Amino acid sequence: MKEYLLLIFSSALVNNVILGRFLGLCPAMGVTTRVDAAVGMGMATTFVMSVAALVGWTINTLLLEPFGLGYLRTITFILIIASTVQFTEMVVKKVSPSLFKLLGIYLPLITTNCAVLGVALLLVADKMSFLSSILFALGSAMGFTLVLVMFAGLRERLAVMDVPRLFAGPPIAFIVVSLLALAFMGFAGMGAS
C-alpha cells in the first residue's frame, strides 16, 4: 500500500511530467489560458493516460515481449494512444451526447500529447507490474493536471496584470512556468550531485 502511494506522489510531484520530464509542454502552453479548459483537458488526459497504460502494458506483456517484437513498441503505443482517444470519444458520445458536446473538444488534442506516449514508454522501460503501471500513469496524469490548473490560474491573473509590453503574452508565461519548474525541483531536493 505504502509503495503504491509513494509511486503516485513521486510521479505527480517529484518526477512531474511537465516540470520534471518536460513532456506535454504543448497543452501546458496551449490550454492554460482558462482554468476551466485546463481542468477539462487535465481530466480527459488522466483518463486517456490511465487507459493507455492498461492497454499498453497488456499488449507489451502478452504480445510484444513474448514474440520479441520490442522494436515495434513505439509505433504500437502510438496506435494504442490514438485508438484509446477514439474509443474514449465514442464512449463519451454514447454515454451522454450532452457530455460529449461539452467535453469533446479536448479529446482530439490528447492524441498528439507526447506526455501520454512518454508515460506509456516509461512504465514499460521500468518493468512495472500491472497495478503499478496504472498507478504510475494516474500519478503522472494527476501531476500534469495539477500543473495545468496552477499555470492556468496564474495566467488568468497575468492577463489582467500590467506586464511590460516586451514580456506580454508567451514570454511572461514561459518565465512563470520556469519559476514553477524551480519550485517543483524542491520536491526532489537540491542536494543531489
Partner 1 sequence: MVKFADSATDFSAPSMIEGIALVVKVEGRTAWLLPEQGTSCGSCASASACGSKGASTTTARLEDRRFQIENEANLIVGDRVVFGIRDNVLLKASATAYIIPLAVMILAGSLAQWKFGNDIATMTATIIGLVVGMGISRAAAGRMQTKGDLAPQYLRRARPGETCN
CB 7 within 8 A of CB 140: no
Of 125, 113, 148, the C-alpha closest to 42 is 148
The least distance separating partner 1 from the CB of residue 75, rounded to whole angstroms, comes to 23
- The number of residues that bind partner 1 (CB under 8 A) is 43
The least distance separating partner 1 from the CB of residue 36, rounded to whole angstroms, comes to 5
Q: Which is nearer to partner 1, 92 or 184 (CB)?
A: 92
Check binding of 174 to partner 1 (CB under 8 A).
no
Q: Which is nearer to partner 1, 48 or 117 (CB)?
A: 48
State the residue for C-alpha cell 492497454: 55
CB 123 within 8 A of CB 138: no
Scanning residues 51 to 90, which ones bind partner 1 (CB under 8 A)? 51, 54, 57-58, 61
The least distance separating partner 1 from the CB of residue 43, rounded to whole angstroms, comes to 4
Q: Which three cell numbers stand for residue 54?
A: 492498461
Of 132, 119, 168, the C-alpha closest to 18 is 119
Check binding of 22 to partner 1 (CB under 8 A).
no
Q: Is the dihedral of CA 18, 22, 23, 28 positive or negative?
A: positive
Interface pick for partner 1 out of 99, 179, 182, 183 (rule CB under 8 A): 99
Between CA 183 and CA 85 the distance in angstroms is: 32
Letter for the amino acid at 93?
K
Which residues of this chain interact with partner 1, rule CB under 8 A? 4, 30, 33-36, 39-40, 43-44, 46-47, 50-51, 54, 57-58, 61, 91-93, 95-96, 98-105, 108, 129-131, 134-135, 138, 156-157, 160-162
